Every structure is written in C-alpha cells, then in structure tokens.
C-alpha cells in the first residue's frame, strides 16, 4: 500500500449507512469520532485495494478526535471500472466442512467471504443477510457488485432461492458460480435466477422421492426403518408387572435393562416405556383386557395355598392398581402393598424350587402346573427377570436361573 491510498478511498462517499461520510472526509464511528480505519465497503471501491483486509486512517486525519466534515476534493478520483466481488459459503450441518468452498473462493481472488453452517430450511441465515446487505451498500455507492458462490446449491432451494433471486435482481447485484451446471457470471436481469429456483425445487423433490422409494423397498424385504428396537417380550412382561404394582414410568425404566444391541446393559428411557405400555394397551383392547387380567389373577389366587400369600391384595384392590381404575387406597399404604406382593412371589418360588437349584422357565411352569396353577411363560419370565434384577435369583443365561442359598435355607 502507498501513502496516498487514503486519498483514493476518500474520493468516494462511504456506502455504510451507519457512517455515510462524504467524499473528502474520513470514516466516522457511531459516537461521532474519526474512525481508526476506513470501512471495508468504502476502501474496496478502489480496485487496487479490493483484496486488502484493512486500511488505517492516517494520523493527519486525527483518528479518535471529534469528526467534522472536510471539503470535498475539487477533482475527485474516479474509478469507473470499480467492481467488487464478495463471497458466500454454506454447509447444511456442523459436521460438514467448508474447506472446499473457502479454498475455491480464495482461489478466485475473493477477499471478503461470509460463511455459515445452517440448513436452507432456516428462515433466517445471518451471514447471507450480511453479505446481501453489504452488496446493497456497495451497489448504492455506484460500484458494480457480484456475489460469488461455489455452487448454486449453496444459496438455497425452491421458494427460498426464488425470493433471494428477487432481492438480488431488485438491488442490481450480479451472481457468479465457480462450479456446477450454471458455472460463470450471470446478469441479475437475466432468466438464470428463475431457472435456478426451478432446478433446485425439482432436485429437492427428487431427493425426497428417492428416499421414500428406498424406505418402501427396505420394508418389502423385511427390514425395519429407523433405530433398532430395544424392547422385547420379556421387557414388556416386566413393565406390566411393575405397572400393576403402581410404579411410575421413571421407576419402571430404572428397573428395566436392555439385553440386546449397542445399548445392552443400559436402562430404557421413560418415553420408551410409555410407548411400550401404550402400544400394548391399544393392541389388547383397553378395559376388556384389564377385566380379563383381573379374572385371571383371581383364578390364580384361589389356587394358591393360604400360607403362601399373606397380606396379598384382594381382587378388588388389584383392580384399583389398573391404569384406568386407579383410586385412593387409604386403608392399605402403597409400600405395604408392594412388600406383600414381593413376599408372596418369593414364597411361591421357594415352595417349588430348591435352594441352589438351577432351573429353566419350562421346569417352573411344569411344577406350578402340578400345583394346579396355570401361568403363561411370559408372566413367569417377567417374575423371574424381576427377581434376577434384584439379586434374588441368579441369571445363568437367558431362560436359565439359579436360586441362591439364603440364611434361612442353610438353617
């Protein structure tokens, strides 16, 4: 840079609306002081300074002093061929890189580049708005301005791109693409903007149609779309058992354990438990299923020996625990109900399984059948998994358990 660069800059009015310093005067700050440097939009009106990053205000203009308007130059320096180019780069997600676009813009000689990582679906793109605002100010000063983009897809798609095209045409801002089908410089008065919007809108619809076709094809081959399910029949049986004991969704989720997939050993979320129970209730028919469960429980309780179920809630009280019929149970506290149920199930296992014995679900079902108790494998598995989770049984492998020795058993 030479010492008289500031004179060529001051030959132009500052295009910044917050400054608007007339020709012959330095740029000013919002507080009415002489700026320490000329605004970028102003000094880049000079072709030789188009790639400069900054231009400080010389000492003779007294940077920091109170700004006063100076006489306009008698012979203003004119640069009729002034042409400013600013760049814009965009990536849809934070994981995508802008390096390719930035290298391409810098290789094309673009010094001022606006970049951001944001989807084209966003209603507001701050960096693009800044680029367009700066381009308008430069164009208002009389210099030609071109917005340079790596590829037309970086500007937007469909209706958004059509709206942007209208803005650029209204401001008489040119557009240049470095790569792609529309590579080259385009006059804002031409039809390229309309064609651009149509192509981008068609491309988005094409991508969506291909995605939907792929999903349908995968479903036809028996593949599931989305994340891998973490629930199974055992988890459902356990969740139903805990819900019947009036546990909250958060408590149920903390007691369940995922047994397959990448999340093996973790607890499902309360939202997953809620969907699991909701889908089950909808598939079983609501209140009709509750009535059937109450009747089935009553039949099982009638066959149990009296000494194996002390304090077990009555059928009417169990009916209160169902989701659609919860009422206040002031006569029996909730903790006493839960303790009584747990004690009854434990005594039932102790009655048919010897201490230290390794058994399978089928063995337990057969022994219960000999006692006249008809229970489904899912319910038995749910009870056993519940006690295994509480260290009352040892899980050898899926479906195989061992009853540990207890102090009262050893005695």
Q: Return the pLDDT at 66.
A: 92
The mean predicted confidence, pLDDT, of the chain is 75
Cβ atoms 174, 145 nearer than 8 A: yes
Q: What percent of the chain has pLDDT over 90?
A: 9
Q: Residue 392, Cβ neighbours under 10 Å: how many?
A: 17
Per-residue model confidence (pLDDT) at position 76: 41
> Phi/psi of residue 314, each to 5°?
-70, 170
pLDDT value for 311:
44
Q: How do residues 72-129 score in pLDDT, each as one tens digit?
A: 775 443 444 568 889 999 998 888 889 899 999 988 888 889 999 988 777 788 998 8
From 2, 25, 48, 92, the catalytic residue: 92
In this predicted structure, what is the pLDDT of residue 335? 53
70 near 43, Cβ under 8 Å? Answer: no
Residue 271 corresponds to which tokens in the numbers above? 């939202």
The packing angle between helices 158-171 and 192-220, to 10°, is 170
Query: Which residues, other chains included, contact 210 with Cβ-Cβ below 8 Å and sequence gap of 6+?
Result: none
Distance CA 193, CA 182 (A): 10
Alpha-carbon distances, residue 207 vs 162, 211, 214, 399 (angstroms): 19, 6, 11, 47
Mean pLDDT value of segment 10-17: 84
Q: What per-residue confidence (pLDDT) applies to 116?
A: 92
**Which residues contact residue 81 at a Cβ distance below 8 angstroms, ignoring those fewer than 6 apart?**
47
CA angle 344, 345, 346 (to 5 degrees): 90
Q: How far apart are CA 68 and CA 28, in angstroms?
A: 9
Residue 37 pairs in a beta bridge with 56
Question: Distance (Å, rounded) from C-alpha 86 to C-alpha 133?
Answer: 11
| pLDDT tens-digit map of 126-147 | 998 899 888 888 887 778 888 9
Half-sphere exposure (Cβ direction) of 102: Cα atoms closer than 13 Å: 11
* CA–CA dist 312, 340 (Å, integer): 6
pLDDT in tens, 240-275: 888 888 888 888 988 888 887 788 888 888 888 888
**Chain-centre distance of CA 136, in angstroms?**
35
Mean per-residue pLDDT for 344-355? 68
What are the Cα distances from residue 160, in Å, to 128, 165, 172, 180? 12, 9, 18, 19
Q: Is the pLDDT of residue 310 over 50?
A: no
| Contact (Cβ atoms closer than 8 angstroms) between residue 267 and residue 254 | yes
Instruction: Give all strands of the β-sheet with 394-397 in edge-to-edge order.
Output: 358-360, 400-402, 394-397
Cα 1 to the center of its chain, rounded Å: 49
| Active-site residue flag, 92 | yes
270: exposed, middle or buried (Cβ count in 10 Å: 0-12, 13-18, 19+): middle
Query: Are the C-beta atoms of residues 231 and 276 closer than 8 Å to each other?
Result: yes
pTM over the 0.75 mark:
no
Point out the least confidently predicted range of 71-75, 359-363, 388-392.
71-75
Structure tokens at 351: 């009655």
CA angle 88, 54, 62 (to 5 degrees): 145
Give the H/E segment covering residue 192: helix 192-220
Q: What is the DSSP letter of 372?
A: T
Tally of residues, the chain:
411
d(CA 242, CA 257): 13
Question: What pLDDT sits at residue 321?
Answer: 41
DSSP-assigned letter for residue 137: H
């Amino acid at each position: 840079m030479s010492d008289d660069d500031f004179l060529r800059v001051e030959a132009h009015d500052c295009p910044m609306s917050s400054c608007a310093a007339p020709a012959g005067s330095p740029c000013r700050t919002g507080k009415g002081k002489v700026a320490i440097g000329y605004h970028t939009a102003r000094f880049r009106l000079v072709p030789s300074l188009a790639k400069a990053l900054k231009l400080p205000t010389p000492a003779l203009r007294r940077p920091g002093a109170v700004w006063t308007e100076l006489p306009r130059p008698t012979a203003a320096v004119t640069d009729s061929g002034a042409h400013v180019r600013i760049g814009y780069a965009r990536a849809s997600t934070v994981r995508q890189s802008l390096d390719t676009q930035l290298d391409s813009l810098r290789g094309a000689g673009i010094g001022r580049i606006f970049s951001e990582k944001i989807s084209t679906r966003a209603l507001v793109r701050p960096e693009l708005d800044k680029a367009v605002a700066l381009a308008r100010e430069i164009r208002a000063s009389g210099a030609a301005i071109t917005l340079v983009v790596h590829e037309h897809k970086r500007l937007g798609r469909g209706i958004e791109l059509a709206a942007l095209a209208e803005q650029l045409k209204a401001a008489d801002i040119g557009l240049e693409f470095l790569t792609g089908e529309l590579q080259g410089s385009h006059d804002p008065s031409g039809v390229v903007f309309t064609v651009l919007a149509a192509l981008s809108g068609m491309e988005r619809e094409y991508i969506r149609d291909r995605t939907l076709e792929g999903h349908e094809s995968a479903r036809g081959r028996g593949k599931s779309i989305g994340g891998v399910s973490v629930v199974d029949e055992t988890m459902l049986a356990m969740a139903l058992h805990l819900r019947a004991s009036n546990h909250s969704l958060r408590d149920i989720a903390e007691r369940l354990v995922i047994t397959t997939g990448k999340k093996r050993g973790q607890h499902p979320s309360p939202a997953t438990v809620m969907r699991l129970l909701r889908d089950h209730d909808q598939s079983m028919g609501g209140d009709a299923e509750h009535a059937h469960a109450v009747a089935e429980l009553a039949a099982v309780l009638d066959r149990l020996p009296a000494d194996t179920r002390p304090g077990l809630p009555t059928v009417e009280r169990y009916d209160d625990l169902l989701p659609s019929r919860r009422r206040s149970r002031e006569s029996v506290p909730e903790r006493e109900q839960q303790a009584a149920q747990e004690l009854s199930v434990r005594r039932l296992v102790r009655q048919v399984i010897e201490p230290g014995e390794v058994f399978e679900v089928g063995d337990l079902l057969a022994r219960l059948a000999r006692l006249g108790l008809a229970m489904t494998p899912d319910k038995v598995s749910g009870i056993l998994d519940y006690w295994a989770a509480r260290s009352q049984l040892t899980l050898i492998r899926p479906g195989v358990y061992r009853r540990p020795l207890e102090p009262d058993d050893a005695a």
